[in-house]
Structure 1
Amino acid sequence: MKKIGLIAFTLTLSLAALAQGKKATSADVERFFKSTTSVLIFNENKMVDLSLKDNLTKHWKVTPLKYVDSTEFENLRTDAKNSFLGITEVRYSNDKRENPYYFLALSVGGNAANYADMPDLGFIPFGTTLDEALDNMYMLPTLLDFLQMHVQNLKMIPGILEESLRFYNKNVEELANKTILICKDDVTSGVSPERMDKKNKNEIRFVSREEIVKAVEERRPNTVVSFLVCPKGEVTARCYKMLFGTDDAKLYFYGYHKTNKLQKNGFTRWDIERIARY
Structure 2
Amino acid sequence: MISIAKKSIKNLVISIFMVTVGFHAFSQESLPTKLDYQKFYKTKTLVVLENSPFSEYNDKVKEAIKQNWVLNEYDFISNEEFDQKKTNPNYSFLVTSIVTFNKDKTKAQYNFLSLLLGEKATDITNMKDLCSVPMSYINVDEENYLYKLESLIRFIQNHVSMVSKNPSIISDNILKYYNKNMAQVKNKTLYITQEDLPPNTRSISKIRKLYPGRVKIVTTQEIEKAINNKNKDVVFLHKVGPEQKGHKARCFKIIIGADDAKIYYFDYHMIKNKQTDSFLVRDFKRLLN
TM-score, normalised to structure 1, is 0.84
Contact 2:236 2:256 in 1 (8 A): yes
Task: Give the alignment of 1:221-232 within 5 angstroms.
Answer: 221-231=232-242, 232=244
* Correspondence for 2:282 among 270, 274, 277: 270
Deviations 1:216-263 (A, max 9, x none): 333333111111110122252110101111122211111111111231
Find out whether 1:241 has 2:253 as its counterpart: yes
**Structure-1 residue corresponding to 2:12:** 21
| Equivalent of 1:104 in 109, 113, 130 | 113
Alpha-carbon distance, 1:131 to partner: 4.6
Q: Distance in 1 between the 2:285 and 2:52 partners?
A: 46
SS in structure 2 at match of 1:262: coil
Pairing of 1:9-158 with structure 2 (within 5 A): 13-14=2-3, 20-22=11-13, 23-42=31-50, 44-45=52-53, 48-133=57-142, 135-158=144-167
**Matched position secondary structure for 2:134:** strand
The answer on whether the counterparts of 1:107 and 1:121 sit within 8 Å (CA) in structure 2 is yes
CA distance, structure 2, for counterparts of residue 109 and residue 161 of structure 1: 22
Number of equivalences? 266
RMSD of aligned C-alpha atoms?
A: 2.5
Unaligned runs of 5+ in 1: 1-6, 8-12
Q: Pick one of 202, 209, 215 that aligns with 2:226.
A: 215
- TM-score scaled to structure 2, two decimals? 0.81
* Bigger mean CA deviation after superposition, 40-49 or 136-145: 40-49
Change (3 A) 1:16 1:55: same
More displaced 10-residue stretch of structure 1: 118-127 or 18-27: 18-27
Q: Deviations over 1:35-92 (max 9, x none)?
A: 1111223565285433322221111111111222334322322222221102111001
The 10-residue stretch of structure 1 (107-116 or 194-203) with the greater mean CA deviation from structure 2:
194-203
Is the 8 Å Cα contact of residues 4 and 97 (structure 2) preserved in structure 1? Answer: no
1:167-188 Cα offsets, whole Å, 9 max, x none, are 3111112223211112221122
Q: What's the % identity of the aligned pairs?
A: 28
Structure 1 residues 140 and 161, CA gap change in structure 2 (3 angstroms)? farther
